Structure 1
């Protein structure tokens, strides 16, 4: 007996309901873990299971954030760090993809540069911070460069590997119809590499924050990284943890935006 369109429709609706319930369950667990973590943290601080001077508490952090939001002193630092991070993220990702495209376009250049890319990827980028600051001067440019340089090499290597991993048969078919190298890249290589590029975006969100915060540690007098260093200097660990909390929130927002971009690209 053959399946009817109605039964297929019912199966699809049941599948959608299961998928929706699973997403809701995951969201509930995520919220529960978050609430549980902050509740245990608050209790540990109040009952002095941990040192309240070092670890502060969620209530103290919330009060400090409300106070600094109210007087406007935190907004400037947030704006500076967010601008530097977004700029470093975009610059590092764009340059990485551009370099990967150049390496794919010119195979000889790729073979020549391969060992140097490996060496550059192995180098601790954070250690280059003082050199970058001396070269570019203490300001926005050096901190943005720190945010970009920490992600550009790994982006180049990963995206280039994705370009190289595209099935050669696709390119042979396109070549048989007279497609040039640009058309092959635009119509086959780049679209097939979108999942890897999006995954690189997600990784670069974290790397950009690391690079910018390290840059602010070294040179800045504004930004969340500066607040962290200042908090350590005056032993105000509530300020340190408040700044870290804001970094975590902004990183999570950037990650969610990348996920939305991923969903749109997949739908297309």
Structure 2
């Protein structure tokens, strides 16, 4: 298994190096429009300049804080709402069409409403992020709750188990893998929500840098900001994977 992991990692790194090398060559030989697509060495110089003048780190910190808050709140609220829908089947049937409609609505269209309601700033961006993460989390986890083996539930009921015991001892443990998978999905969704929110209202953050780069036709700044987003999002995803491994070891007693 270790050899397989090393092989996978090696191929991943090789593909990344080949992509960067091809991109750099295409830019220097004018195979692509450098104004639009830039190339890696120019991106590195742009990032290094913004790091030295101290303007990049605050933007990363602001966007990361917004993403973490939206990610955590979205997961907690979505899981709690899924639990409520399972606990009250009548409420679930009533809310089902509304959840589907809310999930299908374009979140960019909701952004201006959040700005008016909460003001331009951190709260409006987090609200935009929650509009992306909460409904998906609710639908995914609630669907898993409903798919738990009905035979197990009947056995607990035959032995006098309460609805609370069914939920805590059957439903939640059996849905553990789905909840963890939802955490991974929410990493990407939280970043989408935050960047959309920053596009609409922010005067700081990585989303703001992208918008500013487009306004001044500095596409190297735009692409370098996207690279930073990819790096920070990857770090956040790896932290969620580490949490999954730790929780899995805890459940298996290893």
Instruction: Give the drift of 1:93.
Output: 1.2
User: Structure 1 segments of 4 or more deviating over 4 A?
Assistant: none
The answer for the alignment partner of 2:159 in structure 1 is 177
2:43 to 49, 53, 61: 61
Q: Please list the CA deviations of residues 10-39 of structure 1 after superposition, one character each: whole Å capped at 9, or x if unmatched.
A: xxxxxxxxx111111100011001111111
In the alignment, what sits opposite 2:66? 84
Alignment counterpart, residue 91 of structure 2, candidates 99, 109, 112: 109
Query: 2:211 matched to which residue of 1?
Result: 229
In structure 1, distance between residues paired with 2:30 and 2:135? 45
- Alpha carbon RMSD of aligned pairs, Å? 1.0
Kindly name which structure, 1 or 2, has the bigger radius of gyration based on alpha carbons: 1
CA distance in 2, matches of 1:146, 1:106: 27
The match for 1:4 is none
1:122 has 2:108 as partner: no
State the 1:194 CA deviation.
Answer: 1.2
Q: CA deviation at 1:180?
A: 1.4
For the residues of structure 2 that align with 1:88 and 1:27, how far apart are their CA atoms? 31
Give the Cα separation in 2 of the matches to 1:246 and 1:23.
26
Task: Within 5 Å, give how 1:5-154 maps onto structure 2.
Answer: 19-154=1-136
1:149-181 deviation line (CA, Å, top 9, x unaligned): 111111111100001111112122222232211
- In the superposition, the TM-score normalised over structure 1's length comes to 0.91
**Greater CA deviation, 258-267 or 198-207?**
258-267
| Contact kept in structure 2, 1:129 and 1:146, CA below 8 Å | yes
SS at match of 1:138: coil
Runs of 5+ consecutive residues of structure 2 not aligned to the other structure = none
The answer to whether the Cα contact below 8 Å between 1:126 and 1:150 also exists between their aligned partners in 2 is no
Q: Confirm or deny that 1:159 pairs with 2:141.
A: yes
Under a length normalisation based on structure 2, what TM-score does the superposition of the two structures give?
0.96
